[in-house]
Amino acid sequence: MNFCKIISLLSVCAILPAYAQSPGGINSGLVIWMKAETGWTAATWTNQSTTPLFAGISQLNVGGTTAPAKINNAGFNFNDAIQFTAGAGNVTGIAYSTTNTYSTTNFYGGSTAATKNVTYFGVSNSANFDLFSNFWSNMTTGQCGANRCNSGFRTNSVQFGNATQAIVYPATSRNNIGVGRRVSSTNRSSFINGIETNSTASDTFNDQGNYAFSIGYWPVFFANYAIPEILWYNRNLSNVEINRVNSYLALKYGTTLTQTTAQNYTAGDGTTVYWDNPSANVGGAFIYNIFGIGRDDASGLHQRISNSANNSGTTTTSGSYLTISTNNNFTASNTSANHTDISANNNYLMISDNGGALNTYSTAISGIPNIQRSNRIWQAQKTGSAIGCVYYQFNSITNPTANQRYYLIAADNPTFTTNVSIKEISVSGGTATIQVNQNAGTSNYFTIGLWDNTNIADVADTPFGIDLTKTSGWKPTSKNGYMQINSVGKSLVLTRVASTAAITSPIEGMLIFDTSDNTTKVYNGTAWRALGIIFNRFCN
């Protein structure tokens, strides 16, 4: 290659655009992207969009005494949020707002009032999204009236000018994902955790006066909760695109995309599905409390620690019962300094469960005697091989008595009969931690088992021993006795059989050597199991 060609190639590389990260990989039309972890100061919040409507948004103070503050790991799945604190009656406070310098053409797409369109997103652990983010007019007369031709989130609704679309928030969740979308004057939608409510009623689009954009404020009220992230697109996103953005937000903030209508979790590349609804419905409905860790470079997301945001305050439905992390740290925020990075893009580990009651152990597992499993079963769906050993921490486990032991039981199927692994877990203060190898097995289902001998009667003294002396009446007794056989150069030979079928009436504890496959086997009361062959899913 000659010098001129080299210079030509370098010139082409120099003008190629930089790779743009965006929520769910959806960059077209993104005019506002406010993230708590990037670009925030108390005075100014910087817009992270590559095509921003404004560079940043400044602080607005109306009699406020407490400025917004960044909080870490406070209910947003170990990620940052900005805490807003309003004064009495929410009529004073400090928030963020532009001046009234915009028209609807700045934040809506479409060429006419009838076809103007927009899509906006928010994540909130408040009872509703009131005052979350809004465009509002300086006009309070005419068609605008007291509503100020508002577009954005208000109490239990999303708004588009004077048109209101109801949105209902589930009572047993936090970190809800709300979406408002206007396609046309007869097509508006609200979404909550991915479930759409649509309206075809005709609206009258209002475009009067000049508009300001505010976060945590709407004249004349202030928010009194935390806000982690805000997204506005000046076009109507398709349902497929909304799913990709929702997947990004759900993975980041531990939100369960509601499965009353089947929804997958889709990566920012638009093709990788890292939680699959059909797979979650094999052998049961493992569609509750969905959360996970993963790396999505197209979205700029690297989630290293996670639990489900679902929490109704009871252990039977709480998703935060289980936390997973790339290292043995379950308190620090989601940063590279605090947790081990995931080494490659598009690698994910997603956890969901069957919604069964926690701390209730009532189901026996075939082949594992004297242990009852929890009614709660979890399913792990893994994408890629970069996530190997992961730490699991179970919370709010009932502390064991002296006669109880807890075990983590994992298998390739939800009935726990294929490639079963079992390991005792130590519970202290209601918490147990164990490291699991996610690269072991084709599928992963796991649960907690309880061994409890509280109601098992003590074994009475029984004759025990081998008598070679022919002493009359020699019958020693012993509790918990054992037999020792010593030899200098000989070994013990177990009963050799052609197959387990040769033992027509096996009893629990029986040992044989099966010559059909040259393995030593023990009968556990229900099945013969080979000794020394263990399918190990546990690290260390």
Render pLDDT for 41-59 as a digit per residue (tens, 0 to 9).
Answer: 999 999 999 999 999 999 9
Contacts with 418 (C-beta within 8 Å, 6 or more apart), sequence order: 411, 412
State which amino acid sits at residue 168: V
Residue 11 lies in a domain: no
Question: What are residue 202's DSSP bridge partners?
Answer: none
Q: Give, as one character, the DSSP assignment of residue 242.
A: H
**Tens-digit pLDDT profile for residues 335-362:** 999 999 999 999 999 999 998 888 899 9
Residue 30 lies in a domain: yes
- Total-model pTM: 0.86
* 8 Å CB contact between 319 and 352: no
Does 384 share its domain with 276? yes
Does 150 share its domain with 32? yes
- Give the residue from 452, 467, 485 where a domain finishes: 452
Banded model confidence at residue 284, pLDDT cuts 50, 70, 90: confident
Does 404 share its domain with 287? yes
**Tens-digit pLDDT profile for residues 68-114:** 999 987 689 999 999 999 999 999 999 999 999 999 999 999 988 89
Does 72 share its domain with 206? yes
Closest CA to 276 of 381, 411, 414: 381
Q: What is the pLDDT of residue 456?
A: 67
Residue 151 lies in a domain: yes
- What is the domain extent for residue 124? 23-240
Tokens standing for residue 133: 């983010």
Label the pairing between strands 496-497 and 511-514. parallel
Does 172 share its domain with 277? no
**Tens-digit pLDDT profile for residues 16-44:** 344 579 999 999 999 999 999 999 999 99
Compute the Cα dihedral for 369, 372, 375, 378 and give only its sign. Answer: negative
Closest CA to 387 of 343, 421, 351, 350: 343
Banded model confidence at residue 318, pLDDT cuts 50, 70, 90: low
Closest CA to 217 of 207, 208, 227, 209: 227
Residue 319 lies in a domain: yes
Question: What are residue 222's DSSP bridge partners?
Answer: 217
State which amino acid sits at residue 534: I
d(CA 481, CA 462): 10
Tokens standing for residue 496: 């050799």
Residue 117 lies in a domain: yes
Provide the H-helix boundaries in 203-291: 239-253, 277-280
**Tens-digit pLDDT profile for residues 362-398:** 999 887 878 999 999 999 999 999 999 999 999 989 9
Does 207 share its domain with 298? no
Does 236 share its domain with 274? no
